Amino acid sequence: MPDFLLIMESGAVRVVNVKPADRLTDPEIAEALAWPGDLVERHGWEYEIWSGADRVVLENVRFLAAYRRPGVVPEAEIERAWESVQDGDRLGVAERRLAAERPDHEARPALLALVWSGRLTTDLSRPLSGDWVLRRSL
């Protein structure tokens, strides 16, 4: 039985089975995943086997989740960071600008709260560093 049925904005339908990557080499698992794919595709739907996200992406998301709750970083600091950051800034550059007379690392939480909220985006497939390129999304 499939794990997810997704209906895309375009109207396309995608059926997704989820299975850990290390189990995909088991012939019984491979066979059990193949027949639903054939059936689904005969109906004109898309079929996908999903084996999880990249380890670095998951680590970054777990780390950023610390900034998901309101009040963890004062709203005034987040807004000051938003006003300060420029599209294309590297995280380290944005921190130095925002920190002013404080140590750079004290500015990081407000910037990471903006990444968590989606107001800033970056390539989460790279480990967290001052080289992250920040993009304004709103």
Confidence of residue 21 (pLDDT cuts 50, 70, 90): confident
Other C-beta atoms within 10 Å of 19: how many? Answer: 17
pTM passes above 0.85:
no
CA contacts within 13 A on the Cβ side of 98: 27
User: Quick check: 89 pLDDT over 90?
Assistant: yes
Range in 31-35, 60-64, 73-77, 109-113 the model is least confident about: 31-35
Average pLDDT over every residue of 64-80 = 95
Query: How far apart are alpha carbons 40 and 48 in whole angstroms?
Result: 10
Q: Which amino acid is at 15?
A: V
State percent of the chain over pLDDT 90: 75
- On the question of pLDDT at 2 being above 80, the answer is no
The predicted structure's pLDDT at residue 1:
65
Say yes or no to pLDDT of 138 above 90: no
Domain boundaries of the chain, sorted by first residue: 4-50, 55-136
